[in-house]
Amino acid sequence: QDTVVSLQALSQYAALIPQEMRDVKVTVKDKEASLLEFHVHKNNKLVLHQASLITVPGTYTVQVTGSGCVYVQTTLYYNTPPPKTEEVFLLNVQTVPRECDGVRKQLDIHLSVSYVGDRETSNMALVEVEMLSGFLLVKSSVKNV
């Protein structure tokens, strides 16, 4: 029933707003100057116009001029925890020889992965190594530790 009521309200609103979009200018200002300006006309009226505000929190004014109807919306995300950036694995890669002085037929790659997290163990870890272009893996050289 909520959907029916919502659709009815939207259709009544749509009947009241002007259908022809001529030219509308939307200006977003802070206390000092104009920050953003959008021009909405018949060729781009269905395009989403959006931008991020530089200073948050802040006081902003939205000024709309012209003939037509636009919908202005702001969204503020707050109290969102920052993404975790802690690294719980260390990866050490060494090649033998360290530097190539010409075309090599064989290249040894030594990989070492260590768990350095807060827990006693990492539970499970998987290391996937893709070979360099033109090289093949010698299976007998792979060591499980």
Q: Using one digit for the tens of pLDDT, what is the confidence trace for 118-143? A: 888 877 778 787 887 877 888 888 77
Q: How many domains does the chain have?
A: 2
Q: List the domain range (segments joined by +) for residue 102.
A: 89-141
Look at residue 93 and tell me if it is in a domain.
Answer: yes
Q: Is residue 72 part of a domain?
A: no
Mean pLDDT comparison of 25-29, 68-72, 85-89, 107-111, highest-scoring range: 25-29
The whole model's pTM is what? 0.46
Per-residue pLDDT at 65? 93
Residue 44 is which amino acid? N
One domain for residues 61 and 97: no
24 falls within a domain: yes
What's the gap between Cα 66 and its chain centre?
Answer: 34
Q: Are residues 26 and 58 in the same domain?
A: yes
Q: How far apart are CA 67 and CA 78, in angstroms?
A: 35
54 in a domain, yes or no? yes
In a domain, 45, yes or no: yes
User: What are the tens digits of pLDDT across the range 29-85?
Assistant: 988 887 899 999 988 888 899 998 888 888 899 999 998 888 888 888 777 777 777
Is 46 a member of any domain?
Answer: yes
Instruction: Please report how many Cα atoms fall inside a 13 Å half-sphere around the Cα of residue 20, on the Cβ side.
Output: 2
* Cα gap 45→124, rounded to integer Å: 52
Answer yes or no: is 84 within a domain.
no
